[in-house]
Homo-oligomer: A and B are copies of this chain.
């Protein structure tokens, strides 16, 4: 299964060192203004080589739109997005052909398929996520029309935490009523985040994170971290009860990233230690007189359906598996060996996962929005 979504369906393809990666979007509503530049801007946020803290692989990651857009607007037909791979150096991959790198999917692909593309991870490479970001950029434009804004950032890297409550958009919960103001604040927050090399909006914390990454890098090692993603302007009612709960859908999307090993919503694992009287979000009255939860320990949802408060979610990202440090392992025949991985790797993959997680949320939220639009577009009147 290389497809995400039910209404806004995104199918990706491409191996790390094959000719191209790309995505086909099926179910995009017609009439949206869309250009390659719209998508490029988002792709540029995850591309390698942006600072000394990321992989020096030099991929321009230029996206082309092959179908589904005519005279600058979407047609409603399937949209094909393609990114040709450029910087495929003649690295000698025969070295890793016969062994399984610790922490990588070499072994499991081999077990599953009986063969694999051993050049740089093949299909399991993080490079595949470029296609997701391209599709997410389209979802982002559609959500913006409805006043929905997603933003993500590094909450922790290498043990350095950005303390809560920062950052929060808007003064009060449930501020969905003012989409223009939300959009403005999110744009400001995003420029602080992407202005930081480590994708953390708080300068001092960001500097400490960068130091932690450098320290690991100097020891040819890597660090992990926690990415937080927040969604503003999400109306109440998104998510399907039972199997399509909003948190279930987000969890599937975010854990479909190879480096993510855990996810939590709202107060998350801390809720497990609370009492009910403490954990429950009690109801109050919002600025516009509407009933809504006064607190948001649940992270913007109840029973798997959005409440109208911001969606809050955090993902645990493991440290980059590819490290220069020598590791003990065995080859495919079981012979012990000392492995030293060469090549161009990110000492902290969190930095580049930040925009990817944001776009996975965009994909899920748009899909659920369209599902609800089918019910509301129907709107049985009696």
Contacts and interface: CB of A to CB of B under 8 A. Distances in A.
Contacts of A114: 30-31
Count the copies.
4
Most buried by B among A7, A238, A319: A319
Interface stretch (A37-45, A191-199, A200-208, A282-290): A282-290
A76 interface: yes
Chain A, interface SS category: mixed
Given A103-B298, A275-B216, A15 B327 contact: no
Interface residues of A, number: 158
Contacts of A58: none
A85 to B, nearest CB: 10
B375 A1 contact: no
Please give me the 4 A-B residue pairs with the lowest Cβ-Cβ distance, nearest first.
Answer: A105-B303, A377-B377, A262-B264, A373-B377
A283 to B, nearest CB: 5
Interface in A232-246: 236-245
A116 B103 CA distance: 47
B255 A261 contact: no
Nearest to A238: B112
B276 A128 contact: no
B18 A67 contact: yes
A303 B251 contact: no
A183 interface: no
Contacts of A377: 370, 372-379
A380 B142 contact: yes
Interface in A352-382: 369-382
Given A117-B70, A159-B273, A285 B20 contact: no
Most buried by B among A7, A117, A251, A284: A251
Given A75-B117, A261-B264, A265-B261, A276 B319 contact: yes
Contacts of A271: 224, 261-262, 316, 318-319
A102 interface: yes
Given A13-B79, A102-B282, A374 B370 contact: yes
